[in-house]
Amino acid sequence: MITSKLPNVGTTIFTRMSQLAAETGALNLSQGFPDFDGPQALRDAVGQHIASGHNQYSPMTGLPALRQQVAAKIARSYGAQVDADTEVTITPGATQAIFCAIQAVIHAGDEVIVFDPCYDSYEPSVELAGGRCVHVQLGLDDFSIDWQKLEDALSPRTRMIILNSPHNPSGALISRAELDQLARLIADRDIYLISDEVYEHLVFDGVPHVSVLSHPELYDRAFVVSSFGKTYHVTGWKTGYVVAPPALTAELRKVHQYVSFCGVTPLQYALADFMSAHPEHVEELPGFYQAKRDLFCDLLNPSRFTFKPVAGTYFQLVDYSRIRPDLNDVDMAVWLTREHGVATIPVSVFYQAPPAGQRLVRLCFAKREETLREAAEKLCVI
């Protein structure tokens, strides 16, 4: 008999909803990926590097040229100086980076604070390390941190706090004042941080992204994770990176080298080339996705859904209380897919204990204009 190490884990809701969309022919606004390709120059570079023979293992830490481009981007974006050799590690996706960071520092009996609603990979990674997640619920209206709840959740066993800004699924942002408050709260405690910043360049309305990389006091104890897939519209490349102080990077790399050893070599070459030639890409990204957000929200305004345009990410939450208050959000997501041809994600799956009466689903607007128009047309007639 197999004794499962993850007895409460099954197929993710993202996989299930994408499968249901495929089965029913629905528009897939559930899983977070674009229905358009990344930049042509980036895609062309991959073929060129494959043809040039860049097909063997890259260094375990990542291609030097790519690590240097990451460090240069961080300097431009946040005014922070990091060492490409000792602080930047390229990984096969941000989820793997988060897993390795957790395995590097969490021991049996340790507690990790996560903020609900939270990304679904955090807790299984903690459990596989022998730790336990302590769930702190974000504010119901604005998904902000309740500082009293966070302080109450701290214990002598707290070893890590996982932040996520811009926040999936809500799009909420963490401010500099909030990072300062966190720094004061944990100043005298032996607590590490993971800052999940995979949507760092998808922040709207002229508001800058506040990165832990720009907060020296917090960075000293942090693993900061990001994603080339999200930034360059190539989620299927599963390439990300983690930035951490040298001592933490050394521990992370001990785990990383036995999980995957390295990332995919020609993809790293292509990303390094593109980042060097087109540094403006990340500067243009907020405007690119804000235009999609604004279009989608304008198209949804005549509907019976209620919502507030998100501050970041490429997800929009909508409240369906005026449409089918009799359905929980999982049933609502299935109903929307089967009966109205639009696949969504129920927000309750991001909670340990979903708030009573919450009626929210998540829609991905990283789609072509025609996809957004067709989806909105279907949603506005409900």
Cβ-based neighbours of 142, under 8 Å, separated by 6 or more: 172
Name the DSSP letter for residue 236.
G
Which of 12-26, 147-161, 185-199 has the least mean pLDDT? 12-26
Strand 240-243 relative to strand 222-227: parallel, antiparallel, unpaired?
antiparallel
Work out the pLDDT band at 82, boundaries 50, 70, 90.
very high
Work out the pLDDT band at 289, boundaries 50, 70, 90.
very high
Distance separating alpha carbons of residues 53 and 311, to the nearest angstrom? 43
| Per-residue model confidence as pLDDT tens digits over 227-260 | 999 999 999 999 999 999 999 999 999 999 999 9
State the average pLDDT for the chain. 97
Tell me the domains of the chain and their CATH numbers. 11-31+279-379 (3.90.1150.10), 39-277 (3.40.640.10)
Distance separating alpha carbons of residues 117 and 179, to the nearest angstrom? 19
Cα–Cα nearest to 363, from 326, 306, 314, 329: 314
Three-class SS state of 90 = strand
Percentage of the chain modeled with pLDDT above 90:
98
Distance separating alpha carbons of residues 123 and 160, to the nearest angstrom? 12
